[in-house]
Structure 1
Amino acid sequence: MKAWRVHENGEPRAAMRLDEVPDPQPGPGELLLKVRAANVNFPDALLCRGHYQVRPPLPFTPGVEFCGEVVAVGEGVTGHAAGDRVITPAALPGGAFAELAVVPAAGVLPAPPALDDAEAAALHIGYQTGWFGLHRRAGLGEGETLLVHAAAGGVGSAAVQLGKAAGATVIGVVGGPDKAKTARDLGADIVVDRTCEDFVAVVKEATGGRGADVVYDPVGGDAYTRSTKCVAFEGRILVVGFTSGTIPSPGLNHALVKNYSVVGLHWGLYNTHDPAAVRRCHEELTRLAAEGAIRPLVSERVPLEGAADAVQRVADGTTTGRLVVVPG
């Protein structure tokens, strides 16, 4: 089969190489899946660079989530059959940017019928992150104000839709007019173009000076620092990631004086500590997709040969929504 592999760490476009490798075989408790669509995530770039919290042995295949079709079932696996359409995290070092992949059966979920392969591939990590972050960690309530950074990106776009589904007023921060239009189309009530507007001032004006109840921050750096200037009394700043490349150092004295919370989210830990909650979340996301309340924004479907370029563009921050690799 064909599979992209990283033989030496570096920038995705240079580090990824399309190789011909033997077809993998499922072991006990595993499934062999045909990759129907693989979503591109910022962690794929971090994996290529060797900067992710997980560092698989070289060479490895990046691609951390995908929609697939069951081809073969390993010993001891029940509840799955050939032909089933599913979504799952990948099992590194055998990632999703390949024609076939083997994954543990325990983490496999049915693909929502309301979504096509590319949309389903983009649902799992981004929307689970958004749902656990907004509901389990930040306790977003109906009628509250949610500020979403990178609102036109893959993670941010999911938070915008989930915030609207929860009955919040959503203020989206983006970089540029094209991304501003995308955020509006996603349902954001107010959109701020950070290249020419001050989101702190906009949030204060929109909330009568009270500030945002919840801040969803996958960016870090200056986005986090300035968010502390417009977070409400008893507000929650949700730390999701650091796509800016800068990890901020919170001023805990400021959190004390203004009475807000800084809340971290590492969604992957739920797979270990509370897998039943992951499945309950998937059921809720499937329901919301069926009702049309959420739908992953897939801006591009690229062939397998274009995977390295797609990962590089996501790393460079030049994309909107989701890029999805479709092996064909």
Structure 2
Amino acid sequence: MNQYLHLVPEIKEIVEEKNVFIDEPMRKHTYFKIGGPADILVLPETIEQVIGLLKLCISKKVPHHIIGNGSNLLVKDGGIRGVVIKLCSLNQIEVEEDKITAMCGVLLSDVSKSALQNSLTGFEFACGIPGTIGGAVTMNAGAYGGEMVDVIETALVLDEQCNLKILTNEELELGYRTSAVMKYNYIVLKVTLKLKQGEYEEINGRIKELTAKREEKQPLEYPSAGSTFKRPVGFFAGKLIQDSGLKGKSLGGAAVSEKHSGFIINKNNASAKDILDLINLVQNTVKEKFGVELHTEIRIIGDDIAG
């Protein structure tokens, strides 16, 4: 029984009806292709709509979750109570000299393309990361020796009281897969990157090189949320998992990738429970064999199935 249906008319006063979905299967909105229904899923198209939706949820004491394109997300099988606000429709991008300003829902691949088109270098590392720029700032995403901290100038964020703030790179407190955004529950709305003028052919060559590397080493043929675990200090998660004899290990429809042991994949219609049980098995086995604790990099939200 969806206890939040009474909220729908007020939501439709804020966003267009076509952007409101009831009992929406979250498997349609995650790269894992897993997840029970969200009571209400909303796709705002402007910052004003985001603020309006948040104020409504706060005033009515309705639980709410902010998501991007679901590339780093596991939603549990029981789904999500309350309102899910998906920010992918905030996807405008502007380039001025050596700066790119992107709304939170812009895909990193699209930022990378804009940088290439304008012969701007410094963002090649992110060309294959499947998330949005909002999510990338939130977790200081990185790959191939680069991180968001290297290129961010400022970010426009919304705090828990729905106040807008512009934070500098330093104020964002960007560390390994962490930031002030995570620490203080901010919502990233817009990001300005500072890049450098470069040579188009060199930038394009680097993007092609990194794309080939990613395709060779990552299990892109299966649904997943990218690297499942953070890199433990002094180790590589994938190597620890492989050395624990878990490469290819499966539970239900979930499996440790044969191609890269740091990825847990949805191999055969896995449930969220399958993924979580396999994560637990991997963590326990690695701890037992090597004394190293693996922490998940993916975000896990929602409810288990009751009973």
Same fold, TM-score > 0.5, yes or no: no
TM-score (norm 1): 0.28
